[in-house]
Amino acid sequence: MITMRAPSLWILLVLCIFMHTAFLDEDAPYNVCQKCDYNNFCNCSSVKLESIPHVLGNVFGFDLSHNNISQIKDTDFMTYVKLKKLLLQSNQIQSIADQAFQLNTDLEYLDLSDNLLTQLSPNWFKHLSKLQYLNILGNDYTNLGSGRIFSNLTRLRWLEFGNPSLALLKKDDFVGITHLDEFVLTADKLDSYQKGSFSSFRNIRHVVLSLHYTFLKTPVQAQQILADLSGSTTHLELRDITFPDKSDSQIFSVPANSLLTKFTFSNTFLTDNTVLTFINCVKNTKLSELVVKDSVLSGTGKWPKIDNIKNNSLDSLTLNNISIKHFYIFYDTSGVSPLLEPIKSVTLTKLNMFLMPCTVSRNLKNVEYLDLTHNLLSDGIMREMVCLGAWPSLRYLILRKNVLRSLGITSPKLSTLSTLTHLDLSQNSFSDTRTSCKWSENLQFLNLSSCDIKSISHCVPPNVEVLDLSNNDISSFVVNLPSLKELNVSNNKFKSLPGEGYLPKMEVLKISSNKLISLTGEEIMAFKKLGFLEAGKNNYICSCEFLLYMNHHITVHLLDRTENYVCDSPLTLRGMLVQNTKRSFFDCHTQLSIILLCVGMSLAVAIIGLTCYKYHGIWYIQMTWAWLQAKRKAKKVRNNDICYDAFVSYSEMDSEWVETFLVRELESAHPPLTLCLHKRDFIPGKWIIDNIIESIEKSRKTLFVLSQHFVQSEWCKYELDYTHFRLFDENNDTAILVLLESIPKETIPQRFCKLRKLMNTKTYLEWPQDEVEQQVFWFNLKIALKGNDNGSGPF
């Protein structure tokens, strides 16, 4: 039974694994996502998911946008109980189960926009009491369902809803919502609106209405929506709307209890009638800020004069990127001039404006901030625009990105603005600044960045405190500015800090992206009050002095990141951060290093010299050289050039015995033996070492007369060494040892190590004192001298 059950169990196990694998493989391409970061935010966007994926662990954020998910089931988010942010926009979601989010009670951000939802259910949001952001824009629902779908969202702060199909808004649709930071409603074809639908709203900071066709087809409904919302919001924005040429005069009517202080037209199509109607409706309200941006004005500006202004509180006007279709026949704005007088802040940007009439400039009596960026203002119109009485209260003037060309023409006209303290002329083209300029004495801030300026010596306000000259072609700055506190010359061509002028109060210097190669303490200290420096992205030579100062002794605070300070040279350090770079001691103290090196080499030479002197190193060197030369000689030449029977090596102290006994006995023998003695046979004027080598080479034998004097002689040692070389290196047995007196081995100096070796390996003759034994000595010596070179004979 056991043998039968085991295979059955294995088959069952394999079958289960196969089925489980097949199940996983079927879902793998559609619900697998493991792209989670360390904050437990999983990005599963744009991976063609068709269902909610399963991710292990705690997930705080989930981006499932831009997939193919079509439905959300009850169990899809059951495991994500700590989910705080969920992005489901741009899918194909058609249905969501009522209890889909019942366990996601911590959810704070939910985006369901741009899907295919046709119905909305209050059960979706029943358990989401912590939800703060909800976006259900761009679906297919025509109404908000049975109502009160937002009643449990007491913490909601951002709500965006609506779509082109939304047709109905009812009274109880927004019950439960009282305070919002932003409310966005898109309803291009709203057919029915019940008055008071927004009655639950108490304080909405910003309301955005995109009611494109509603204003065209049902202006009464549009009027009612604006009236209802103006009582609960401080900022109302109309977006993506085309206003009819003849609209109801009460379309912009604002109730007495209105909280509205800011009104914005964004991407709208305006007519003269629209403008006139709006002005008449808000001229006596609490409206303080008007913004019109990215819009088109189809009229000609022929507006009748506005009268009966009792309480004009308009404080700020912004017109940005407005296209006037019939600009060539556009009237002036004298009709609305009474509205301009109280305004303190005016922004007129991207209008293609080439002139502001003198009358308009004079009407802006209280304007303190004027931004005319990105227009077509030129030097020639300054006389008309800055006329007598223009902008009498102006403090901030921005003329950035116009077509100004000459500071010599522009500055005198602007100098008439006695209250002007801040002037921005950046992104114009003042290439010629050699002419003198005239500025207001109160001008404290001047921005001339990105103006193609090459020199600025004669065109700087004398009392300026903040000067921006960045992004130009300036290479020097020799100007006396006793009041200057901040100077920005980044992205120019400076090779050193601008310290040639008189800048006693400068506290901030920005000089990044120039051609600086170094910074020194002397340069920094020249600015006595300098406390902040921005000098990164330069071509620094990382010398020892520069690195020492930047890493240990810099006294100012660096405004930019340390990553901006990089070595450009030497090549070995290029690309390295100044903060992490160190130079070697030799690089930083070259002269001292050379002196120490020379001293060290001198000491080494002295030590080597003393060592060689003490241990006779010179002899070893000379002998080695002589040996090398001897080895290069052909051996046949040496054998065929024998002149002596023996070369006698002896100490000068033993010369009496050699000359009296040895020479007389051997050279008078029959047949006589020829001896080579250094006194008699060395060639005068020849190097003594060459004499020794040549004499040994021309002798069949080398006779060593050993004594205490011998082991003290340097020349004897050399002769012994060379003979030892012939004995072992050339396998030539030519050495004969004669011991005149007893020499204990322990008394032989260490440098005569070869003598010890010879005495241990060869038989030597001892000179006897007895005359009979002396005869035997001479006999044996003669036999040894007459023997062949192969070692034959008695020795």
Model confidence pLDDT, tens digit, residues 512-536: 999 999 999 999 999 999 999 999 9
Phi, psi (rounded to 5 degrees) for 667: -80, -15
pLDDT tens by residue, 77-100: 999 999 999 999 999 999 999 999
Q: How far apart are CA 719 and CA 623, in angstroms?
A: 9
Q: How distant, in Å, are the alpha carbons of 540, 560, 662 from that of 574?
A: 9, 20, 80
Task: Specify the range with the lowest mean pLDDT, choosing from 104-108, 145-149, 250-254.
Answer: 250-254
Within 462-571, where are the H helices? 521-525, 544-548
Residue 632: what pLDDT?
Answer: 63
Q: State the Rg of the chain over Cα.
A: 54
Q: Find out whether 173 and 198 touch, Cβ atoms under 8 Å.
A: no
Look at the alpha carbons of 115, 120, 126, 131 in this order and tell me if their dihedral is positive or negative: positive
Residue 655: what pLDDT?
Answer: 86
Query: Bigger pLDDT: 473 or 722?
Result: 473
Q: How far apart are CA 755 and CA 552, in angstroms?
A: 66
Q: How far apart are CA 363 and CA 57, in angstroms?
A: 66
User: Is the predicted pLDDT of residue 412 greater than 50, yes or no?
Assistant: yes
Q: Which tokens belong to 605?
A: 């030479």
- Across 349-353, 751-755, 778-782, which has the greatest mean pLDDT? 349-353
Q: How distant, in Å, are the alpha carbons of 128, 200, 227, 754 from that of 162?
A: 21, 18, 19, 112
Q: Which tokens belong to 438?
A: 């005239």
Q: How far apart are CA 273 and CA 295, in angstroms?
A: 15
Query: Bigger pLDDT: 790 or 155?
Result: 155
Q: Find out whether 497 and 523 touch, Cβ atoms under 8 Å.
A: yes
User: Is the predicted pLDDT of residue 553 greater than 70, yes or no?
Assistant: yes
User: How much is the average pLDDT of 448-467?
Assistant: 91
Residue 237: what pLDDT?
Answer: 94
Helix axes 617-632, 590-615, angle to 10 degrees: 80
Q: How far apart are CA 227 and CA 396, in angstroms?
A: 36
Residue 453: what pLDDT?
Answer: 92
**Residue 50 binned pLDDT confidence (cut-offs 50, 70, 90):** very high
Of 582, 735, 566, 581, nearest to 649 by C-alpha is: 735
Task: Specify the range with the lowest mean pLDDT, choosing from 229-233, 295-299, 308-312.
Answer: 308-312
User: How much is the average pLDDT of 750-763?
Assistant: 69
Look at the alpha carbons of 280, 285, 291, 294 in this order and tell me if their dihedral is positive or negative: negative
Residue 114: what pLDDT?
Answer: 95
Of 559, 523, 520, 562, nearest to 541 by C-alpha is: 520
| Beta strand ranges found along 460-505 (DSSP E) | 466-468, 486-488
pLDDT tens by residue, 16-30: 433 443 333 444 444
